[in-house]
Amino acid sequence: MSAATGTAMKPLDVLESEARAAGLAPMWRRPGMRGQPESRCAPQSWSYAAIRSLLLRAAPHMSHAECERRVLILENAAMSGTWSMSPTLFAGVQLLLPGEVAPVHRHSQAALRFAFEGNGAHAAIDGERLPIEPGDLLVTPRWAWHDHGHDGQDPALWLDVLDVPLVATLDAEFREWGGDERQQLSSPPGTSEAMFGQGMLPTGGIDAALTDGRYLKRYAYTRSRAAVMQLMSAGELDPWRGVKLQYIDPRSGGAVLPTIAAHLQALPGGMVTRPLKSTETSLLVVTEGEVRASLGGRSYLLGLHDMLLVPSWTELRLEAVRQSFVFSVSNAPLLKAVGLWREAQG
């Protein structure tokens, strides 16, 4: 009998109460498996102009020492309070002012950075200094020492993408600060590009290169853009994607990071892609031009550096208002590694 109501409890209710007291849960109370994905995140767009304005307004109220945290997070409205863009990815826009340094550190989260603006910024990753020019992609694998600085005249802004939620879910988060503001450089500038960025690999040294901090760390936008532009000019268009090339780790031929893929896409003016959906969650960033996206029954107009989150199994169609280039990141490598990636073409 329930003490609260004075009514007799049904036998199954009694059993369930005893089960919960023993740290057990009755599966018959749990809804059955879904017939298809229902993402915990929702379609959402972010205005780069609005983000930039807010960061510049925040800058006078934050010290140079706080620049490493001067970031506005792309927090998904459906995941409010989680500091996350999706169940596996974190993204944020960071502002670095001239003369500032984000001190050397490393962490167990894998990261990449896509530069929006600001000449003169640079990063040091695993002992090599690299320039950060607009449109460049920089990769920071797990536990790689890295720091950032800015010797230019204008503010530098870039997009950070990390697998923070995934690492948190796996209870595998580690972080360590270096002893100095900047790390000791062990390789001349351009070393990683010479070793891995020319369609070549070091003979006899690839095994060592996998473990000693030698890998392709920077993907220059000028080269990436030229590649997709050449294919677009040649009419090499896919009906669902236009021209879309994946940034790869030359050592493996796979994605730049085990949990994060990056692509650059080109769409000729007037092109409308066919509908496409997949189990990956993606963030699109317009790097040039203007794109109208139809996503989940809504329309989004995206200008320069505007961003759009595409949740899992949500149909997407893109229309290039004029010739456009779109950078994107996704969790596709993670899904492919466990056999959960699939797509449906409309």
Say which range, 4-18, 185-199, 297-311, 322-336, has the weakest mean pLDDT. Answer: 4-18
Let me know if residue 34 belongs to a domain.
no
User: So what's the pLDDT on residue 48?
Assistant: 99
The percentage of residues in the chain with a pLDDT greater than 70, rounded to a whole number, is 95
Average pLDDT of the chain to the nearest whole number: 93
User: Is the predicted pLDDT of residue 164 greater than 90, yes or no?
Assistant: yes
What is the distance between the alpha carbons of residues 42 and 338, in angstroms, rounded to a whole number?
23
Pairing of strands 254-255, 248-249: antiparallel
What is the tens place of the pLDDT at every residue in 166-177?
999 999 999 998
| Three-state helix/strand/coil letters over the chain | CCCCCCCCCCHHHHHHHHHHHCCCCCHHHCCCCCCCCCCCCCCEEECHHHHHHHHHHHHHHCCHHHHHHCEEECCCHHHCCCCCCCCCCEEEEEEECCCCEEEEEEECCCEEEEEEECCCEEEEECCEEEEECCCCEEEECCCCCEEEEECCCCCEEEEEEECHHHHHHCCCCCEEECCCCCCCCCECCCHHHHHHCCCCCCCCCHHHHCCCCCCCCEECHHHHHHHHHHHHHCCCCECCCEEEEECEECCCCEECCCCCEEEEEEECCCCECCCEEECCCEEEEEEECCEEEEECCEEEEECCCCEEEECCCCCEEEEECCCEEEEEEECHHHHHHCCCCCEEEC
Quickly state the pLDDT bin for 69 (edges 50, 70, 90): confident
Task: Flag whether 31 is in a domain.
Answer: no
Instruction: Assess contact for 251 and 201: CB atoms under 8 A.
Output: yes
Distances (CA, A) of 76 to 84, 85, 232, 306, 336: 6, 5, 33, 15, 24
State mean pLDDT over 50-78: 92
User: If pLDDT is split at 50, 70 and 90, which confidence band does 332 have?
Assistant: very high
In a domain, 17, yes or no: no
Mean pLDDT of the region 126-134? 93
| Predicted confidence (pLDDT) at residue 115 exceeds the cutoff of 90 | yes
Confidence of residue 39 (pLDDT cuts 50, 70, 90): very high
- Report, as an integer, the average pLDDT of 58-63: 91
Q: How far is CA 167 from CA 81, 89, 163, in A?
A: 17, 10, 6
Task: Write down the pLDDT at residue 64.
Answer: 78
Under 8 Å between Cβ of 333 and 267: no
Q: How many domains does the chain have?
A: 1
Q: Which domain holds residue 69?
A: 44-345
Q: What CATH number does the domain containing 199 carry?
A: 2.60.120.10
In a domain, 265, yes or no: yes
Average pLDDT over residues 47-71: 92
Q: What is the pLDDT of residues 199-254, one digit of tens each?
A: 888 776 555 555 567 899 999 999 999 999 999 999 999 999 999 999 999 989 99
The confidence score (pLDDT) of residue 1 equals 44
pTM of the model: 0.93
Span 83-105, mean pLDDT?
95
Distance of CA 181 to the CA centre of its chain: 26
Residue 70 lies in a domain: yes
65 pLDDT tier (thresholds 50, 70, 90): confident
| Residue-level pLDDT at 208 | 57
pLDDT tens digit string along 75-93?
999 999 999 999 999 999 9
Q: Is residue 147 part of a domain?
A: yes
